Structure formats: C-alpha cells, structure tokens
Amino acid sequence: MGHLFKKRRSGEPMTSRDEPLFSQDHLTHLFKEKVAELQKEPEFSREKEPLPCAVDDNRTPNIKLAVANVPLNYDLWKGLRNPAVIGLYPAGLQHIWEFYANRRKKGIDKFGRPTIFQVPHSFRSALKTYSRALIISVMLPFSPGIIKKYTELISGKEKGSSHVYAKMYEEVNALLDKATTRTAVDLVQAHNVVVPLTNENVTSVSSEAIPVTRQKASHGPSKGGNYPQKSVAALLGLGQFGVHRIIFKDEVTNGKVSRFTGPLRSIVVFDKEDVITKSSHGVIFLTEPWRTFLFDLFDFTNTDPEINKYRFCAYIPSNDAGCTKCRDYCPSGAQPNSMPTFDGEYPEEVVKQTHRFWEGKLQFDYGRCCEERGQMASLFPEWSCARGLSVCAARGVKRVYAAKNFYEKREELTKAG
C-alpha cells in the first residue's frame, strides 16, 4: 500500500499530505486547495464582497467530506428503490463503471488504425481487475452570513427573494463542480479508475448508462437524474436528511452546534486495494446495521425516542417543543403537505392523497413547490426561494446531544465483524 501515501521531504512539516491518498483528511485538504485556487480566478474572484461559501478560522473553504469503501458488487441502493424515495432505477457502481468504460473504449490500435471492435471493458472485467470502490461525498457549505441576512429579509414576508442569495447559490455550485473535477484529476493513477460525479456527469450517467425506459418520469418524479447525490451523502454519514428532505450537517464546537448546508458532489474510485472493514483514516465501511439505522433515522413516521435522539432535525419533540420553522416559512404549502405530525401519523388531508404514496412512502409535493418557484423565476431571473433550507440553517433548533450521539453511532456501526 506504499503507493497510497504522499512522500514528505526531509525537514518539511507534517501536513495532511502525509496522510494516505484517500484518507478523509487528505481529500479534504485537496478540496480546500482547489476551491481556494478557483476563488483567485476571474470567474470567482471577489475583492470587497463576502465569500459565498463557509470558511474556517483560517479563512479557507470549510469543506465537509465523507469517504466509504465497499466491494464492487455492493448494492448501494438495496431497500431504497421506490419512486417516492430515490427512484426506481438509481445509478449504482455498475452504471458508473459502464459510463466510464464507454467513454474510454479504444478505437485506435497501436499503429494508429481504427479498430474493428470498439467494445468497452465490461463490468465483469472490472470485477476481476479491481477489488473495491471508494465513494467520496463532499459538501461546500453556503456562507452562514449570507444565509442569516436572507433569513432576516424573508422574516414576516410571504413573498420576497434576494439576488445576493441567488448569486451565492449559483456560485457555490459552480465552485464545487469545478473543484470536484480538479480533485478527481489529482487522484488519477495508473492502477485506478476515477469518475467525478459533477452535475454534467450525473446527467450523462443518467442518459448513457441507464436505459431510456428507466429515465426521468419512469424513474420517479423530480429526481434530477438517476444518481441521488443527497442520498449518497446521507449513506456516508456526511449529513442527515431533515423532515424537509434537505441534507444538513451539525457539528459541536466548544459546546455549541454549528449547522452547515450546501451543494453536494461525489467522486467514485475503483482500485485494487483491499476493502477496509474497520474504520481507518476516516474511511468507513457501509454495514447492514448502519443502513438499518439510517433507514429508521430518516423515517419521520418513526418517533421512537431511541432513534430521535440521533436526529439533527428537531421536528419531533425530545424534551422540548420541537421545531416547525421549515413548515412555517414554506410559502407554497408544499412542506406541510409532505410531512407527518409530531406523533408520526400523516394528517387526514395528506392520507387522502393516495396518488402520492408508493408502498407506504410519500412523494414530496414538488408540484406545488416547483410551480410557485418556477413561475416567479420566469418573471425574475434571479428569483430564489430556499426558505426552508435557510431558516433551518439560521434559526432551526439545534441539539448538542444529537450531533454527539450521531457521530459516535456512525463510528460504532461502520465496522464489520
């Protein structure tokens, strides 16, 4: 495994570069470098305006990242295939491999002549060549300061938006997309295959590796492609779904909870290393007990206190009044029409909407949400809503014990044997 380590020159201080190439610390360092580099380029350069992303005490991008490793034949989406959840036909490791292999199939021989057979390497051949898949999920959180100002702006206003917020949203997404590609390039080695799951590549995987009969509406409503970035982040424990179905991450520092939310991207690496079944350098293993725990955690019809004590989302009361801010600030009514009551039961008016349920799971009311937002954006190009996300991040109830409990539970459950 020596080739997985960066070598340190004599006299150089120890840094994350001395970590294994695919350690959580080293990958986080790489992403920080790439985002910082991008922010010096004309497209993203800012002189007097506040930075659009969260920064740490050193004014460097506050990247949030999680890494897992699994065998190539691992089913990422076991037990989750449902059009009201992640969709019926989510892209798994085989689809990602086939997308890569099709893009890299050989068409020219060593003499420069077109080959007769231009056939990509099959997933079966990948299973013989590579032993594991590394999945890297990364978040570039939005600026807490901009979110706070936007929340103050919309407080008490049924309608309203902010071009500053809209600009932040677009810029942070673009930053993370490019940083993901540049980081992935740095991870490419002779013995591995690296696939960055940027917005463009997710669209391409969905259209090239998934049959047309399993795309778009046939996959499920409003899924944004067949590769669910949010669910990858949740599966790796990078963050949690709230009752509003947005991923956010709570961290405890000096007894106080900081909440982060922002765009998500992924990188998948196929290599020849042994699968790590005991957490090492921040690389976890996705065990069945961990998956079962997460399925319970993100099911808000489950009000068991033994599950609720791990939730960042404080919607269901736990020795407090709970939190309903995302519901209260939703201008379209989509949020209250998509969540159970505190006791885990859906209101009668929601239960009657049988067309929105599939095998007991409720599809979020994207119709009402997107109609309002889409109509306003057609009139005002810089219009944005994101009220649920913003008020949750800025004013949502935060529980110190939940954040502590969750990361301890992840450490406990992501070890095999």
Q: What residues pair up with 138 in beta bridges, in sequence order?
A: 65, 265
In angstroms, the Cα distances linking 247 to 95, 125, 171 are 24, 35, 19
Q: Is residue 236 part of a domain?
A: yes
Q: Is residue 148 part of a domain?
A: yes
* 68: three-class secondary structure by DSSP: strand
User: Which strands, in side-by-side order, build the sheet including 64-70?
Assistant: 193-197, 264-271, 132-139, 64-70, 283-285
CA distance 151 to 396: 11
Q: Is residue 166 part of a domain?
A: yes
Q: Is residue 370 part of a domain?
A: yes
CA distance 226 to 205: 8
How many CA atoms, within 13 angstroms, populate the side-chain half-sphere of residue 398?
Answer: 20
pTM above the 0.85 mark? yes
CA distance 183 to 351: 46
Q: Is residue 5 part of a domain?
A: no
Domain count, the chain: 1
**In a structure prediction context, what are the per-residue pLDDT tens digits for the chain, which is 417 residues long?**
333 434 433 333 334 456 789 999 999 999 999 999 999 999 998 877 778 999 998 889 999 999 999 999 999 999 999 999 999 999 999 999 999 999 998 888 888 888 888 889 999 999 999 999 999 999 999 999 999 999 999 887 777 888 999 999 999 999 999 999 999 999 999 999 999 999 999 999 999 999 999 999 999 998 889 999 999 999 999 999 999 999 999 999 999 999 999 999 999 999 999 999 998 999 999 999 999 999 999 999 999 999 999 999 999 999 889 999 999 999 899 999 999 999 999 999 999 999 999 999 999 999 998 888 889 999 999 988 899 999 999 999 999 999 999 999 999 999 886
Q: Is residue 30 part of a domain?
A: yes
Domain coverage including residue 267: 18-105+119-413
Q: Is residue 12 part of a domain?
A: no
Q: Is residue 361 part of a domain?
A: yes
